[in-house]
Structure 1
Amino acid sequence: MKKILFLLFLCTKTIFAFAQTTEEYIEEYADVAKDLMEEHHIPASIILGVAIHESAAGKSKIARYLNNHFGIKGKNSSTEIRSSYKDFPTVDSSYNHFIAFLKSRSHFNALFDKYDQYDFKAWARGIQRGGYARSRTWATQVIALIKKYELFQYDNRPEDYVEPVDPKPVYRSKKKSGRTYTVKQGDNLGIIAKRNKTTVKAIKNKNGLKSNALKPGQKLKL
């Protein structure tokens, strides 16, 4: 009976250990992220934001069993789960490997020279463009987490720092069709409209026609 109670205690303790809130996760690993920021000049907010996103704030299986907080794939020696993700001896080593991983790939390494440690939006989008994740909304999700939990407070931004304004989306108008059609003997507006997947009314409007009469050799805008 005592053995059963002891096992229940251990299970309960394990469950509560994994029931960490995102705020508690941030409090636990903020200093690790800040130290990496100081050494490598990548925003601490990005490090924390990616970790929270990829590990569900430390609650994902690969975080719990493999200490993998960044979704890095690779070999592991775990006997507890089968996974295609890399294992780490400690969570801190997972954080350090994330930086090493970025610096070892040319499309990520270029970001260290291109962006400063304050522009977390540019970093998130740059990491996504480099192919870190398949999801097209990955950067948007990481940025949303950074804003929600105000992770930018760990980036040591100068008091006079002005956050870059997001560029406004450019909407390009569809180019007008420049197609024309030369009327042939036996053509009529119905035949021409059907052949070119349009309507008689549209052809008449584009060409200012008041009647359906056509002449061979006549040029029509489509």
Structure 2
Amino acid sequence: MIKKILLVLLVVFAASCSGTKHVRTTSKKPTTKSQPVVRKTTTTKPTTTTKPKTEESEVIEATTKVTTSSDNVRNYIDTFSETAKKNMREHGIPASITLAQGILESGAGKGRLCVEANNHFGIKCHTGWTGPSITHDDDALQECFRKYSDPKDSYRDHSLFLTSRPRYSSLFKLDKGDYQGWAKGLRAAGYATDPKYPDKLISLIERYQLYMYDNEVLERENLKPFQNSNTVVNNEMLYTVQQGDTLYSLSRKFNLSVEELKRLNNMSDNNLAIGQQLKTK
């Protein structure tokens, strides 16, 4: 009996050794690094509203006080430049001076005398005027000013006003492109009481390049501002002091002694200022 049991166990053991072994394999997927997620962000710049360029404004003050813009001044120049050049050819007054005076006196065409009376130069009635007139507060209340039907008549009257009065005769001895000499000469001859009147005219002429109209009439190719340190006003030779000038150098230049220069100009010392005008004869 025991032998039978042992035999059975032996058969079972042999069968288990000869059986197929099953191996469980685990397939691992290759590990891949996850790519970082890049989020594209669109930066929107804040919308800025471009402000329109503001017109440059300036106050023009003569027989009227007017705030106007540089565009208005340029429009005025475009409108009356041909008239100014025509008067220069006929009467010898620099077109630059005529235009600058017109801009200054009329407020670039916006002043009351200009708008209501076509009076661009603030010309008063004076003795003998029989034409239309308008009253306006100036040096005194309700003064009489000339009134014109056409702006061209105002320009013509301005030219006749300067050519018919002896006190302005020395100006016509200047070079016709010497707007600086004309500006200073008008003030010296009594055209205006404002001590800054010449500077205002010269500033307008150079800022808006009005000297180009003088050169057109004179047929000059050089369109740069006219430079002349010598002017004649009321038959007196005046020299405008330049950088580097001294009384000694000027005495040599004009064949005068230092003391003579000082005496001519009522000077108590030797100090000079750029832009100062000195009598030289």
- Structure-2-length-normalised TM-score: 0.50
> Per the alignment, do residues 160 and 90 of structure 1 end up closer, same or farther by CA in structure 2, a change over 3 Å counting?
closer
Q: Distance in 2 between matches of 1:174 and 1:102?
A: 36
Letter in 1 for 2:72: T
Instruction: Tell me if 1:159 matches 2:221.
Output: yes
Q: Distance in 1 between matches of 2:206 and 2:197?
A: 14
2:144 aligns to what SS in structure 1?
Answer: coil
Q: Which runs of 5+ in 2 are unaligned?
A: 1-67, 230-239, 248-261, 270-281
Q: Distance in 2 between matches of 1:143 and 1:100?
A: 22
> Runs (4+) of structure 1 moved beyond 3 Å?
75-83, 169-175
Per the TM alignment, residue 99 of structure 1 is displaced from its structure 2 partner at its CA by 0.5
Does the CA contact (< 8 Å) of 2:178 and 2:228 recur in 1? no
- From 63, 68, 74, the equivalent of 1:23 is 74
Per the TM alignment, residue 84 of structure 1 is displaced from its structure 2 partner at its CA by 2.3
> Which has the higher Rg, Structure 1 or Structure 2?
2
Determine what percentage of the aligned residue pairs are the same residue. Answer: 34
- From 185, 188, 202, the equivalent of 1:129 is 188
Higher normalized strand content (fraction of residues): 2
Count of aligned positions: 158
Letter in 1 for 2:227: P
Does the CA contact (< 8 Å) of 1:111 and 1:123 recur in 2? yes
Per the TM alignment, residue 143 of structure 1 is displaced from its structure 2 partner at its CA by 0.7
1:85 aligns to what SS in structure 2?
Answer: strand
Per the TM alignment, residue 103 of structure 1 is displaced from its structure 2 partner at its CA by 1.1
Does the CA contact (< 8 Å) of 2:94 and 2:179 recur in 1? yes
Does the CA contact (< 8 Å) of 2:136 and 2:145 recur in 1? no
Instruction: Tell me if 1:106 matches 2:169.
Output: no
Q: Distance in 2 between matches of 1:117 and 1:174?
A: 35
Instruction: Tell me if 1:144 matches 2:144.
Output: no
- Structure-1-length-normalised TM-score: 0.63
2:241 aligns to what SS in structure 1?
Answer: coil
Higher normalized helix content (fraction of residues): 1
1:84 aligns to what SS in structure 2?
Answer: strand
1:23 aligns to what SS in structure 2?
Answer: helix
- For residues 54-133 of structure 1, the aligned pairs below 5 Å read 54-74=105-125, 76-78=132-134, 83-112=143-172, 114-133=173-192
Per the TM alignment, residue 164 of structure 1 is displaced from its structure 2 partner at its CA by 2.6
> Per the alignment, do residues 79 and 41 of structure 1 end up closer, same or farther by CA in structure 2, a change over 3 Å counting?
closer
Does the CA contact (< 8 Å) of 1:41 and 1:116 recur in 2? no
Query: Which residue matches 2:9?
Result: none
1:37 aligns to what SS in structure 2?
Answer: helix
Q: Distance in 2 between matches of 1:69 and 1:92?
A: 9
What's the C-alpha RMSD, in Å, of the aligned pairs? 2.9
- From 12, 30, 34, the equivalent of 2:85 is 34
Deviations 1:163-185 (A, max 9, x none): 3344216787745xxxxxxxxxx
Q: Which runs of 5+ in 1 are unaligned?
A: 1-17, 176-222
Q: Distance in 2 between matches of 1:24 and 1:130?
A: 30
1:108 aligns to what SS in structure 2?
Answer: helix
Q: Distance in 2 between matches of 1:78 and 1:174?
A: 48
Q: Distance in 1 between matches of 2:136 and 2:99?
A: 26
